[in-house]
Structure 1
Amino acid sequence: MRLTLTEFLTLDGVVQGPGMPEEDTSGGFTRGGWSFPYADEDFGRLMTGWFEEADAFLLGRRTYDIFAAHWPRVTDPADPIATKLNALPKYVASRTLRTAEWRNTTILSDDVPARVAELKKRPGREIGISGSAELARSLLAEGLIDEVRLLFHPVVLGGGKKLFAEGIAPLALRLTRVETTASGIVLHVYEPAGAPEYGSFPAPE
């Protein structure tokens, strides 16, 4: 299976708390819910399409806790995202989580990159990662993510957790798709392309 990453970002790179004000207040963050005003029909179409391709989900502990508190309560069989999340296998990377009540959840507590590499060998289409920035950074460094979907929202927050934080392993990316929603979200889809290359522009003679 392919491993795909979907991230909501502000223009200054913040990924913290996109869905609601109380989603993630760690570090004193008070600007959660910034994605909500831009969730138009185009946005819904993109998300629904990706969830239709998923055969499993991989989440970090914080994102898992947020999802597990919300999605099991969404029982409408016509909801394409809830239906997928509640029914399909879910894997949560955590060294501290001991039990998981959300149906079809497996805890990955040790050597997560190796466990993920094994999951990718199973038959199927995609294992989808949503959010989970810390997990995403570690798997990007290991070369395990096959596609990166970045949805840049037209808002600047000036603070908050970032996907490409200081100290992340250098990585080159190849742009494969660009799309803009009516509300102003710009989707960039990338494939990892190995290590960055460096050079310099020639000085004028």
Structure 2
Amino acid sequence: MGKIVISANATLDGVVQDPDGEEGFELGGWFHQFAGGKDLEDWAANETEEALGAEALLLGRRSSEWFASRMRSGDGADVRVSRKWADRMNSIPKYVVSSTLEHPQWSNTTVLNGDAAKEISELKRKVDGEILVYGSYQLVRALIKQNLADELRLVVFPVVLGTGLRIFDETSDMKPLHLVNTRKMGDGLVLHTYEFVQGQRL
């Protein structure tokens, strides 16, 4: 049985929007602005270990295209990760939720273009291990709403933006989570790992 793991970077007030500053958000670019060399070194090591331990990647179309453009070009340095991480991203089975993508250019990519909840539920039955979700915040919200997400790994950056899109902006119901682990990364980042508590309300 597969386990869907949402792996995200966020500011202290929960903003996930435009970490690299490429989307035109006025406060974008916080990923590199508020993380030092040791922070990013530990972040990259964690990201590599996470990808190597996963069995599949689940993405929305835009996030898939963002990663694919960098991985195919070999420019893994764009996202401050190792060559090993980029190689794993290229080789790992990838599933992209999209009603418009017909001919994916990234290797080992399968498009899920039907009933998303049904197809992702089937994917969880088929994959034995972790299914990582990067970016893809519209998809992430749907996974949480449909109770399909099993774990949330949140790397918190030491800045408050005060505005911007958050993972839980559109959550319409109470979602209990269980804290599994917290650890410091580098000098200023903190990784929180939570399990979603399914079928319960506080």
- For 1:40, the equivalent position in structure 2 comes to 40
In 1: Cα distance, 2:197 partner to 2:118 partner:
21
| Structure holding more helix per residue | 2
The answer to whether the Cα contact below 8 Å between 1:40 and 1:183 also exists between their aligned partners in 2 is: no
- For 1:202, the equivalent position in structure 2 comes to none
Q: 1:146 aligns with which of 136, 146, 150?
A: 150
In 2: Cα distance, 1:91 partner to 1:63 partner:
11
* Max Rg structure: 1
Task: State the shift of 1:53 in Å.
Answer: 0.8
Task: State the shift of 1:41 in Å.
Answer: 2.2
Q: TM-score, normalised on structure 2? A: 0.87
Q: Tell me, which stretches of 5 or more residues in structure 2 are unaligned?
A: 77-81
What is the CA deviation profile of residues 80-139 of structure 1, one whole-angstrom value per residue up to 9, with x for unaligned ones? 211111111111111222221111111111211111111111243211101111111111
The answer to whether the Cα contact below 8 Å between 1:51 and 1:80 also exists between their aligned partners in 2 is: no
Q: Tell me, which stretches of 5 or more residues in structure 1 are unaligned?
A: 198-205
The answer to whether the Cα contact below 8 Å between 2:55 and 2:127 also exists between their aligned partners in 1 is: no
The answer to whether the Cα contact below 8 Å between 2:141 and 2:170 also exists between their aligned partners in 1 is: no
Question: SS where residue 42 of structure 2 aligns?
Answer: helix
In 1: Cα distance, 2:14 partner to 2:75 partner:
33
In 2: Cα distance, 1:113 partner to 1:120 partner:
11
Segments of 4+ moved more than 4 angstroms: none
The answer to whether the Cα contact below 8 Å between 1:150 and 1:189 also exists between their aligned partners in 2 is: yes
Equivalenced residue count is 191
Structure 1 residues 169 and 67: CA distance shift in structure 2, 3 A: farther
Matched, 1:131 2:135: yes
1:7 maps to amino acid = A
The RMSD of aligned alpha carbons is 1.8
Identity %: 37
- For 2:109, the equivalent position in structure 1 comes to 105
Question: SS where residue 55 of structure 2 aligns?
Answer: strand
